[in-house]
Structure 1
């Protein structure tokens, strides 16, 4: 454990930034980014849980897809955290803090059949997508076009992964 006694930046505060975005605007955007970061990590952990526990005839395809989707969520989380830091904020970090900032609810520790798991994933994807849309609009309204663009890039991949889950949940399947 670190022995440094001086805190360089207190969590929840936003410093002036070199991006020349007003501190009040940066504070609003960092708050939104930290919510998205916490939600995205919650999604990541749920996808990894399903990646680890999937069984059955479609195991291989689902295992690979869920691993890839979790990787996409992890990449998005990294982008969100780096943008929050660039705006003078501190990215939310650690399980307890992320749980406190997340607006999505994970399904819990039990293992469910894959259809139920994917339905839970799709519901969480939907919540994350709605939040990203709101935060794109917030960033645009505050004049932070770069954050809006970063969120747009994230939402494209998030929607694509959600669409794949939707296809896995269709009734037409070769598996009986």
Structure 2
């Protein structure tokens, strides 16, 4: 590990951005929301990757590819959230332990579950994050940070799309027949 000679900015600080012209107390509230979203998004990302790696069954390829795409979207969203926090003069949360500790969502256990359980768990986490992001859109809009509100709105569209797709995967209709019923 390299030795750090000097710290440019300490974790959990918000210096603000003179160029963006947001008041310090408002910026701190926005950064707190962004870090919460960032933490939740990384927990979602890791859960999606877990399911992507472990999916089995007749729909393996389709679900495997879908979960991979959903995880990529989560990773991209996390990057946007961290970059926005940094642009606001903050140090975004980093490191798996800190992210999980600050996430308002709970990851499922380390065990591998059946596909329907895994997808239900993903859909539940998406729902929790959707509710939180909606609140953060309102917060940032109310604090006058329209750019962050717009970023969150765009992420909300993607989150809702993935939740909707998971809902479809969990429907009862399928072309795969259970051999026990034949």
TM above 0.5, one fold? yes
Q: Structure 2: any 5+ residue segments left out of the alignment?
A: 178-182
Q: Deviations over 1:100-135 (max 9, x none)?
A: 110000001000000000000000000010110000
Q: Deviations over 1:3-25 (max 9, x none)?
A: 12321111111103021111111
C-alpha separation between the residues in 2 aligned to 1:80 and 1:167? Answer: 28
* RMSD (Å), alpha carbons: 0.7
TM-score where L is the length of structure 2: 0.95
* Regions of 4+ moved over 6 Å: none
Q: Structure 1: any 5+ residue segments left out of the alignment?
A: none
Q: Where in structure 2 are the equivalents of 1:148-159 lying within 5 Å?
A: 148-159=149-160
Q: Displacement of 1:175 after TM fit? A: 1.3
The alignment status of 1:92 with 2:103, answered yes or no, reads no
C-alpha separation between the residues in 2 aligned to 1:10 and 1:24? Answer: 18
C-alpha separation between the residues in 1 aligned to 2:34 and 2:5? Answer: 28
Does the 8 A contact of 2:85 with 2:91 survive in 1? yes
What SS is found at the alignment partner of 2:77?
helix
C-alpha separation between the residues in 2 aligned to 1:119 and 1:19? Answer: 40
Q: Where in structure 2 are the equivalents of 1:114-125 lying within 5 Å?
A: 114-125=115-126
User: What is the aligned residue count?
Assistant: 176
TM-score where L is the length of structure 1: 0.98
Q: Displacement of 1:51 after TM fit? A: 0.2
**Structure whose CA Rg is larger:** 2
Match of 1:63 in 2: 64
